[in-house]
């Protein structure tokens, strides 16, 4: 066993001894979801996690991104666990205190490391590696959970969806363009004892030539804008060209009968929606079920997305960027933008089936329901 592997094992055992798990923290914080995403939520949870017992100290340090006295952290983790945390780079000693260097979210029985999310310490880099967010968890609910030999998470970020695939796939791949995200993905696989997941640098399918999969998932960088501020968020190509490029290439990387599921966004302009999208999926040699979760006018969409993660925008900056986004939409002929799930099934022969179905983010179909639709057609 390598030194890094020993540190991981020691640290994970220390977290378990300290009661840092999903059920314990949900009970303590009064929430069904042990993940942190807002400053307001953090203030409430810091109050509920006050105290000097090990569970409270670990919650403040690793979930609530708050420095704690070094003596308390050493007591909560034990001497070996404390040393392992520092060696792994998930915490650092600063004088008499210990500061978090990652957030350790708890989701679906997994512990997931990602960049700090709230407070002054969470300055956003372009390659910010977020933990599971609302879109990730939405796609997780809609993913088809059937045993497969090989699965892929395209644009895996910190690896959460790939690790969920590992529960029912014999061989799991994750790809991302961000070396920082891939480092987190490998750390998270180690923290959760997943040894059959590999993570490789790749722009979409570029590093996967000739490889096919029975199941592909992707919480794509889907935001359609004139900006490329965040690698994990912004699509970067004109209109919905990023999604089109992924859909058209998908058929070459699905085994016969294999299914791909992408959470994505696409534009509406003067051209009819259905024929345009149908061309993408039929050129890929696939059946398709597209589940529309939301459709917004371009101005409402811009107002919702332009701030992005990090500090709130001041009024003048918001107005300037809103004008820039709307000028881009006008030049590109974008009137509205839809958010939804592209479900593609590879089928080499016969007439391909194409359907767009409405749904809601509040009540999306489950993976089992989506599988049932494909079985029926």
Q: What is the mean pLDDT of each successive set of 10 residues along the chain, which is 377 residues long?
A: 92 96 91 75 90 95 95 97 97 96 92 83 73 92 97 97 98 97 97 97 95 97 90 87 96 97 95 93 95 97 81 80 95 97 92 93 94 93
The three-state secondary structure class of 68 is strand
Q: What is the pLDDT of residue 315?
A: 79
Q: What is the pLDDT of residue 91?
A: 97
Instruction: Give residues with Cβ within 8 angstroms of 359, minimum separation 6.
Output: 291, 292, 293, 340, 365
The domains located in the chain, with CATH, are 3-114 (no CATH), 134-376 (3.40.50.150)
Instruction: Give residues with Cβ within 8 angstroms of 113, minimum separation 6.
Output: 90, 102, 103, 104, 105, 131, 158, 184, 187, 188, 191
Q: What is the pLDDT of residue 311?
A: 60
Nearest to 180 by CA among 114, 247, 105: 114
pTM for this predicted structure: 0.93
Query: How far apart are alpha carbons 57 and 366 in whole angstroms?
Result: 37
Q: How many CB atoms lie within 10 A of CB 362?
A: 6
Q: What is the pLDDT of residue 312?
A: 67
Nearest to 289 by CA among 352, 213, 241, 337: 352
What φ, ψ does residue 243 adopt, rounded to 5°? -60, -45
Q: What is the pLDDT of residue 126?
A: 81
Q: What is the pLDDT of residue 36?
A: 74
User: Strand runs (DSSP E) across 133-282, as ranges?
Assistant: 148-154, 169-176, 197-201, 213-219, 254-268
Nearest to 131 by CA among 160, 110, 109: 160
What φ, ψ does residue 257 adopt, rounded to 5°? 85, -5
β-bridge partners, 339: 265, 294
- DSSP 8-state symbol, 59: I
């Amino acid at each position: 066993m390598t030194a890094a592997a020993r540190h991981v094992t020691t640290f994970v055992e220390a977290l378990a001894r300290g009661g840092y798990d999903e059920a314990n923290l949900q009970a303590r914080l009064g929430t069904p979801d042990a993940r942190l995403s807002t400053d307001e939520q953090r203030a409430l949870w810091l109050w509920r996690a006050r105290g000097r017992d090990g569970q409270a100290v670990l919650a403040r340090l690793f979930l609530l991104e708050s420095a704690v006295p070094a003596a308390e952290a050493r007591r909560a983790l034990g001497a070996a666990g404390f040393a392992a945390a520092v060696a792994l780079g998930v915490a650092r000693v600063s004088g008499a205190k210990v500061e978090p260097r990652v957030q350790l979210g708890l989701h679906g029985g997994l512990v997931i490391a990602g960049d700090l999310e709230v407070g002054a310490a969470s300055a956003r880099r372009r390659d910010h590696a977020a933990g599971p967010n609302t879109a990730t968890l939405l796609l997780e609910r809609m993913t088809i959970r059937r045993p497969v030999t090989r699965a892929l998470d395209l644009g895996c970020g910190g690896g959460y969806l790939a690790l969920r695939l590992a529960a029912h796939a014999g061989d799991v791949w994750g790809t991302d363009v961000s070396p920082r995200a891939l480092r987190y993905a490998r750390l998270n696989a180690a923290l959760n004892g997943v040894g059959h997941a590999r993570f490789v640098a790749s722009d979409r399918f570029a590093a996967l030539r000739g490889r096919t999969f029975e199941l592909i998932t992707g919480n794509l960088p889907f935001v359609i804008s004139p900006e490329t501020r965040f690698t994990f968020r912004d699509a970067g190509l004109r209109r919905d060209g990023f999604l089109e490029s992924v859909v058209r290439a998908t058929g070459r990387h699905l085994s016969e009968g294999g299914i791909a599921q992408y959470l994505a966004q696409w534009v509406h302009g003067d051209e009819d929606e259905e024929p345009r999208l149908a061309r993408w999926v039929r050129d890929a040699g696939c059946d398709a079920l597209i589940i529309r979760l939301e459709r917004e006018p371009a101005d409402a969409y811009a107002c919702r997305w332009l701030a992005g993660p990090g500090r709130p925008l001041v009024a003048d900056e918001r107005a300037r960027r809103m004008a820039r986004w709307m000028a881009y939409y006008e030049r590109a002929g974008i009137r509205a933008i839809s958010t939804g799930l592209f479900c593609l099934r590879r089928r080499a022969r016969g007439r391909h089936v194409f359907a767009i179905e409405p749904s809601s983010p509040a009540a999306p179909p489950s993976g089992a329901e989506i599988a049932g639709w494909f079985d029926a057609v």
